[in-house]
Amino acid sequence: MRNLLLVTAALATPALAAPPTDAPAADPGKDIVVTARRLDTARDAILPSLGAGDFKFTRATLDAQPQGADRNLTSVLLQAPGVTQDSYGAVHVRNEHANLQYRLNGVIVPEAISGFGQTFDPRIAETIDLITGTLPAQYGYRTSGVINLRTRSGAFEDGGDVGYYGGSHNTIQPSATLRGSTGNLNYFFSGSYLQNDLGVENPVATRNAVHDRTKQYRAFGYLSDILSDTSRLTVFGGTAIGKFQIPNNPGQTPAFTLNGRSTFDSSLLDQNQRETTHYGVLAYQYAGDAVNLQVAPFVRYSQTRFSPDPQGGDIIFNGFADQSRLSSFAAGVQADGSYKATDSHMIRFGLFFQNERTRSTVTSRVFPVDAMGQQTTDQPISIIDTGRKSGQLYGIYLQDEWTLSPELTFNYGVRFDRVDAYTREQQLSPRANLVYRPAPGTTFHIGYARNFTPPPQELVGTTTVARFNGTTRESEIPFGDPVRAEREHYFDGGIEQTVAHGLTVGLDAYYKKKRNLLDEGQFGSSLVLSPFNYATGYAWGVEFRTNYSRGPVSLYANLARGQEKGRNIVSSQFFFAQDELDYIANHSIFTDHSQRWTASGGGSVTIKDGIGTLVPSADFLYGDGLRADDPAGIVPNGGKLPSYFTANFGIAQNLDGPGFLKGLSVRFDVVNVFDKVYEIRDGSGVGVGAPQFGARRGFFGGIRKTF
């Protein structure tokens, strides 16, 4: 960073003597580029991983993969070590449910209410980092993994691209980006639209789902004004809007009678969900010689609406039909800074505050029942349940990066967090990481972190279960304790070794001991999950990774073994059956998202073919299978789904010209090459709502023009 400061100063300072008349004029644009690069480097240095694992996807990596720039974020993350596939676009990092934090340029973007929509489009990212392990003190709240997208800024080149992608499942996906600079102002804009007939995983094994159309819109904008050589003001934000039909499972048997009607074709159900998220960040950055600061106010609004079948199909099959509207507005500020106290000590500090206002309105149509639980009338009644809540999150941290020697770094610190919402709790959390580099290409790390994870306020319901007594929605368990924050002791250690030029291998092991282990499940028709706690829990795992990159060849492979278990459900008990609660109270069980083995890998080759570059690519995903009901019907989550292996293939031809052909790229992709039929979920297990199958083989093609 100091060298970059000197470069900037040399470019910006006038010479003492008059230059020759034929000397080239100063280039203000070059000054801006150098300053922007230095400020980016300084911003990233405020929040380094410092002993935690950091798996990085660069822009080149993202483009050189099957589906390229048109791949969704879930598919990208599944190629990182220890990431498990689940339904509704969810992923699990190190066998944890959710507990992922999303950041843009280091700034937390509060999580949205979403069942299966994705807020962020990978095309906006210059790099995507997945940070795991014993996180330094600057990372709080969601700690199984931090996904940081460093957005494209437009500071380094003017241009953009426009493209069209489509194929199987009636997929249509146009997109465009624009980037550049004018004076001190840098900008980047991105927009995309997606339409297909496989918006949610198919509940049956058929190639095409029934009633599964989705329309999704995403937009993002970034503006940065360089105020001086040491400061800039940045504003960025975006929107994601998704409309989803809920896919149908044909052949279901009706269980209730509505207005004299006791038959209904389940393939004709018309359930729909709409998800909306808007977010924005205003960030001021100062990067001096010793002090580096970023202060970032932020806002986020999220809303999810679920509409049941208008003809009453839900209530005929389930005995209830919910129409729900959930919304959340969050606003706050994040401030982070660093101070270089001495050559051996880098002090980092920061604070976080968020106020969130959540609202929920659920209108349930149900049937009255008698003491034996039998329907007494075919005329439904409506019960309205509303909730309003304001909650706050507070956090502050202080840490020191102590360079003990050129080979040994000790990063230690502490953070304090408090949540005041449906639960009022707080915790002081020490963190420590030791990194040892005994020789070039060899890195050892070991760390400990005490973590505090508040329950997601936007997902905590306020249902008073007593109001459903005497109806088809009466709970077997008449009470539910409040959802509490998870508290965790986290231990992690590993090694990374460069074996040969371009070849690196890594091994990492971890163990987590938990109190009030947070989990989530689907407990209604709406595809929005609800949280609950196990009193105690633990997780452990081992991850192996390797990558090779030399010249035109890039290869990687990851293998992970792990599990997570919980014991005694102590909140939201009304979601469960009594026999489940009784067993789990006295036995540790696998959490429903625990998977023993996970593997991923792939690669690409860049071939110069005379008209540009030809880039074939491939990747694969192996899953040992998520949990399911015990075949013997005794142990909750005591069964396991079959393992599966899927592979994807892509090939892109990038043209160098002449004329209009310059910057043109044509690609073809095959997803699930071997047409593997596999279940992600079978509809059984603790908190699992419905079966879902992975997508069958699909053929896709696209064309993109870069200018």
Mean predicted confidence (pLDDT) in 256-266: 95
Q: What is the pLDDT of residue 13?
A: 32
Please state at what angle helix 28-46 crosses helix 2-12, rounded to 10 degrees. Answer: 160
pLDDT over 70 at 6, yes or no:
no
The alpha carbon of residue 209 and the mean position of all alpha carbons in its chain are separated, in whole angstroms, by 25
Beta-carbon count within 10 A of 61 CB? 17
The residue type found at 85 is: Q
User: Among candidates 145, 96, 135, 102, which has minimal Cα distance to 429?
Assistant: 135
Whether the per-residue pLDDT at 114 is higher than 50: the answer is yes
First-to-final CA distance of the chain: 32
Distance of CA 626 to the CA centre of its chain: 19
pLDDT digits over 393-436, tens only? Answer: 999 999 999 999 999 999 999 999 999 998 999 999 999 999 99
Report the pLDDT value the prediction gives residue 112, as an integer from 0 to 100. Answer: 81
Checking if the pLDDT of 526 tops 80, the result is no
Q: How many CB atoms lie within 10 A of CB 487?
A: 17
**Mean pLDDT value of segment 442-462:** 89
Q: State how far the Cα of 65 lies from the Cα of 602, in Å rounded to an integer.
A: 8
Note whether 519 and 571 are within 8 A (CB).
no
Q: Quote the tokens at residue 696.
A: 């069958």
* 20 pLDDT above the threshold of 50: no
How long, in residues, is the chain? 707
Two tokens, residue 40: 């980016």
The string of pLDDT tens digits covering residues 482-492 is 999 999 999 99
Residue pair 520/531 in contact by the 8 Å Cβ criterion: yes
Mean of pLDDT values over 446-450: 97
| CA-CA-CA-CA torsion sign (662, 664, 665, 666) | negative
Three-class SS of residue 454? coil
| Residue 93 pLDDT class (50, 70, 90 cuts) | very high
**% pLDDT > 70, the chain:** 93
Encoded tokens for 609: 């073919």
Question: Residue 690's pLDDT is what?
Answer: 84
The type of residue at 322 is D
CB 701 within 8 A of CB 668: yes
For the chain, what is the mean pLDDT? 91
How confident is the model over 447-459, as a mean pLDDT? 92
Q: Range with the lowest mean pLDDT among 97-101, 439-443, 448-452, 555-559? A: 97-101
pLDDT tens digits, 639-649: 999 999 999 99
Q: Which of 398, 401, 405 is nearest to 433 (CA)?
A: 401
Q: What is the pTM of this model?
A: 0.91
- Lookup: tokens for 543: 């991850």
Q: Residue 164: which of 706, 650, 701, 671 has the closest Cα?
A: 701
Token readout for 110 is 């509060």
The Cα 15–Cα 11 span in angstroms is: 10
Domains in the chain, start-ordered, CATH in brackets?
47-706 (2.40.170.20)
Question: What does the pLDDT look like over 193-206, one tens digit per residue?
Answer: 999 999 999 999 99
Residue 461: its pLDDT value, please? 62
Lowest mean pLDDT across 12-16, 71-75, 97-101, 192-196: 12-16
Query: CA separation (Å) from 60 to 7, 44, 552, 615, 671?
Result: 27, 19, 12, 12, 20
3-state secondary structure of 77: helix
Beta-bridge mates of residue 359: 327, 388
| Cβ atoms of 149 and 120 closer than 8 Å | yes
pLDDT average, residue stretch 319-324: 93
pLDDT at 28 over 90: no
Structure tokens at 76: 């990208």
Partner residues linked to 99 by β-bridges: none
Amino acid at 376: T
